[in-house]
Amino acid sequence: MLDTFSMGIHCTKDLLPAHWEYLRRYMEEGPQSIPMPRRYLPIAEKRESFLFATKVAFSNFSYGYAFLLFGTPFALVTLFGRLLCMPTNKVPVWPGEVEEACRIEPGDPYAQRVSGD
């Protein structure tokens, strides 16, 4: 039996060790040991936009023209599903007691509130 887990990223095998090292350093050495991310998901306190959903649904097109030719119908089904889910799901909100217990100190250099595309 093979034990696996998701790292929340879709990448090629050559990029995976670098991503793993980033996560390992964060967990073992703390956030000060890694560079700050240059980009964040544009979904803070809102639903994803049509443009973002389209980018996610068609993100595998970097694999070449064969995927573009045969994968478009599947990407369109994925896009339709994402667009159907957006108005029917609520934006997640932490309960008050969790927000209180995990309050971010003013001036925390690792606090990132990101919104917008």
pLDDT tens per residue across span 36-65 = 777 666 666 677 888 888 888 887 676 667
Residue 108: is its pLDDT beyond 70?
yes
Residue 18: is its pLDDT beyond 50?
yes
Residue 116: is its pLDDT beyond 50?
no
Q: How confident is the model at residue 77 (pLDDT cuts 50, 70, 90)?
A: very high
Residue 117: is its pLDDT beyond 50?
no
14-43: b (≥16 Cβ within 10 Å) or e: eeeeeeeebeeeeeeeeeeeeeeeeeeeeb
- The one-letter amino acid code at 2 reads L
Backbone phi and psi for residue 95, each to the nearest 5 degrees, phi listed first: -60, 155
